[in-house]
Amino acid sequence: MPKPFVNPSGLCVCGCGEPVSRLYAPGHQHAPRLDYELMRRLHEEGLSAPQIAERVGCTPRTVTRWRRQEGLTRVIPATAGAPATPERLEQARRLLDDGASYQEVSRTLGMHERTLMRHFPGRGWSKREGGRLGAYVTQMNRQMNRKAA
């Protein structure tokens, strides 16, 4: 079952006007109607598919399909492909020093991950370290779930 969408207005997003707090409320049989104008505005503002999906009440995949159908491409930051100036490299260094991953810095500044790796070698985690963190988080989640039960 899809994740319920909490509609801030308290009304059904299908347009029936029923006062429901969740899109998939018990007994509610309507299919949601998407606000394509809102989706377009959010797309033009540069929001990602998951961000648009959360605001509109659909899945990120629905947003991706809609973009493809409309011929809209993913919004690329204006700084993408720009040269790695000293100022941008300093911003990247500060983000990496704060613990951001290469991927996060890449998305934020519009720089390719390999460019960041070339200028800041050894800042990322190895596959082994990432795997260890994942295993640790899984273990902690299991322990917390046992205590809660």
Residue range 28-48, pLDDT digits in tens: 555 556 788 888 888 888 788
Does 125 fall in a domain? yes
Percent of the chain with pLDDT over 90: 13
Percent of the chain with pLDDT over 70: 70
| For range 45-67, the mean pLDDT | 84
For residue 121, the Cα-to-chain-centroid distance in whole angstroms is 27
- Contact status, residue 12 vs residue 18, Cβ threshold 8 Å: yes
Residue 9 pLDDT? 55
The yes-or-no verdict on residue 77 having pLDDT over 70 is no
DSSP assignment string, 89-131 = HHHHHHHHHTT--HHHHHHHHT--HHHHHHHSTT-SPPHHHHH
The yes-or-no verdict on residue 113 having pLDDT over 60 is yes
* Nearest Cα residue to 111 out of 120, 138, 28: 120
How many structural domains comprise the chain? 2
More confident residue, 135 or 9: 135
Does 2 fall in a domain? no
Does 114 fall in a domain? yes
The yes-or-no verdict on residue 120 having pLDDT over 80 is yes
Round the average pLDDT of the chain to a whole number and report it.
77
Does 24 fall in a domain? no
pLDDT in tens, 14-24: 556 665 444 45
- Contact status, residue 76 vs residue 110, Cβ threshold 8 Å: yes
In this structure, the answer to whether residues 55 and 109 fall within a common structural domain is no
- C-alpha to C-alpha distances, 12 to 5, 34, 108, nearest whole angstrom: 10, 11, 35
Q: 91 falls in which pLDDT band (50, 70, 90)?
A: very high
Domain assignment of residue 108, given as a range: 86-148
